[in-house]
Structure 1
Amino acid sequence: MNKIYERYVGVLVLLPIFILIFIGGQYLKFLTLILSLIGLYEFYTILKAKNYHTFNIVSYAFTIIYFLTSKNLSTDKFLLILIAFVAICLSIPVFNLKHNFIEAALTIFGFLYVTLMFSLIPKIEAKDFGNYFVWLVFISSWGSDTFAYYFGRIFGRNKLCPKVSPKKTVEGAIGGLIGSILGCLLYGIIIYKFGVHINLYNYLIIGLIGGILSQIGDLSASIIKRYLEVKDYGKIIPGHGGILDRFDSILFVSSVVYFYLTFVVGL
């Protein structure tokens, strides 16, 4: 299949995802549950390349439980679910010697990396003006990716992390920060006119931290794939790879937006 044609097909696959994000509510929650399950499957599948056999069913089950109960989930109940999940994962190698504690740790990491980070997206949307704020996650990530790509192509001279991602440059990384900041700031100015009245400097800070974490998310995914000697996490999106290939930076930015709005803005 022609690569350009593949990418257009990939955009058509992604389109329903962004429609559901726009609709929000229970549709967004259901979407992020499905994305979490697919992302977990992709992550655990590529681990088999190094002969790690994770406890997939346990992780899938707790992901479903977590999403179904997360609406009114207190911190104590969340910790109870997390502790139960960790305890079960750590007990499996004790009773089944075919497994080891590295596999338990990787299973737990997958849950934290994929499920918990995806779950922050509907949590952002559930906040006051969350239907506006949820788009900061994508604007920061897209702005960073787009500006990093073009700044890297035009100005790129100095390699950023040649052993992890040979094509990335320092100039591209700086461009990524600029793109994220400008995107978030412009969006903040626009939604201010719709009654979302928080100080504009908050968007600048979210854009800055989001731009940094977006690129760290991308590099983290690259180093995992490089270690496991795979090109992509999956092939579910033609021309784009898997869910985790498209959402690697978005997952990291979701944590920035959620925790900033919660602990700094106070929403």
Structure 2
Amino acid sequence: MKTRIISALVLLPFLIFVVVSGGLWLKGATIILGLIGMHEFYQAFSKENTGLHIIGYIFASFYGLFMEQIINADNYFNIFVSLFLVVLLIYTVVCHNKTNALDGMSGFFGFFYAFFLLSHIYLIREFAYGKYLVWLAFIAAFGCDTGAYFIGVNFGKHKLIPFLSPKKTIEGSIGGILTATLLSLAYGLWIGNVVVFEDVNLLLLCGLAGFFGSFLAQIGDLAASAMKRLTTIKDFGKLIPGHGGVLDRFDSVILTAPALYYIMFFLIEVKP
């Protein structure tokens, strides 16, 4: 626990710096963390297939460098995804003696799971009011984790999904959602007094982000546990002492960030 706390205290200033800075700092950090996450995923599911990994890293790097254009321009994302899949299929066929269809699928999924979902932190930061609202992704994820832990320890009696996570309880899960939702609403009340949000129902946005973000944070945590059980590993990596790898630390944030982004997309009117 001591190592875990020290690591968190060391990483927190870096996280705050890159998110507050935004722009190239945040994009660079997102690309680096995304590539590390992909490496962790590939090592877990297709350790020996270096050629497939290289294809994934190349497409992920290209997406990371031009993600605004790929996401915002009509059909660019469809073209990118189609081309990525076709190249993986070509590699699977041409190099059939050292790869297989399952490796190809893990190459495709690894990008979306470890890189694409995480990239929404940057997309949120660059969206309207993003420098204020991006913190909701972390409030939902870490608030849920904290609330679930304390409520579960003190009141937890009914196991949630013991096969995937023996210590998690239904009471803790509900407590995590309530904690994250209340913290998100509190943040909305505070930031609404500091910044003028034109034509935005800020409390509705914050409430939805807290509720759905915390629910998906738990799904992300349990999904990562399912993957680790399948591959018989304890952690995806050892980059962060006491926490594991990038995917171990951000397994909940990579689902809260997309949830927040699309809530913002539908509730915030972007003026031309």
**Correspondence list, 1:129-208, <5 A:** 129-193=129-193, 194-197=195-198, 198-199=200-201, 200-208=203-211
Matches within 5 A, 1:1-267: 3-5=1-3, 7-48=5-46, 55-73=52-70, 74-97=73-96, 98-193=98-193, 194-197=195-198, 198-199=200-201, 200-267=203-270
1:53–1:99 Cα contact (<8 Å) kept: no
TM-score, normalization by structure 2: 0.92
Question: Shift in Å at residue 196 of structure 1?
Answer: 2.8
Structure 1 stretch displaced more, 248-257 or 9-18: 9-18
Contact 1:62-1:85 at 8 Å conserved across structures: yes
* Cα offset, 1:220, TM superposition: 0.3
Separation of aligned partners in 2, 1:156 and 1:71 = 43
The residue type paired with residue 35 of structure 1 is L
In percent, how many aligned pairs have the same letter?
37
Cα separation, partners in 2 of 1:143 and 1:228, compared to 1, 3 Å: same
Q: Report the Cα offset of residue 172 of structure 1.
A: 0.4
CA 1:241–1:54: 2 relative to 1, 3 Å:
farther
Conserved? CA contact 1:44–1:54, under 8 Å: no
How many residues are treated as equivalent by the alignment? 264
Change (3 A) 1:139 1:229: same
CA RMSD of aligned residues (A): 1.7
Gaps of 5+ in 1: none
- Contact 1:140-1:253 within 8 A present in 2 as well: yes
Uncovered stretches (5+) of structure 2, i.e. residues with no partner = none
Confirm or deny: 8 A CA contact 1:35 1:243 kept in the other structure.
yes
What SS does structure 1 have at the residue aligned with 2:160?
Answer: strand
Alignment partners' CA distance in 1, 2:68 and 2:217 = 27
Distance 1:6 1:159 in 2: 25
Q: Would the alpha carbon gap of residues 60 and 52 (structure 1) be closer, same or farther in structure 2, given more than 3 Å must change?
A: closer
Q: Is the 8 A contact 1:54 1:107 kept in 2?
A: no
Residue identity in the other structure for 1:246 = R
Please state how far the C-alpha of 1:114 moved relative to its aligned partner. 1.4
Q: C-alpha separation between the residues in 2 aligned to 1:144 and 1:183?
A: 9
Q: Tell me the amino acid that sits aligned with residue 178 of structure 1.
A: L
The letter for the 2-side match of 1:68 is: L
What amino acid does structure 1 have at the position aligned with 2:164? V
Q: CA deviation at 1:71?
A: 2.6
Aligned partners of 1:19 and 1:190: how far apart in 2? 21
- Greater mean deviation of Cα atoms: 195-204 or 248-257: 195-204
Q: TM-score, normalised by structure 1?
A: 0.94
CA contact (8 A) 1:37 1:60 kept: yes
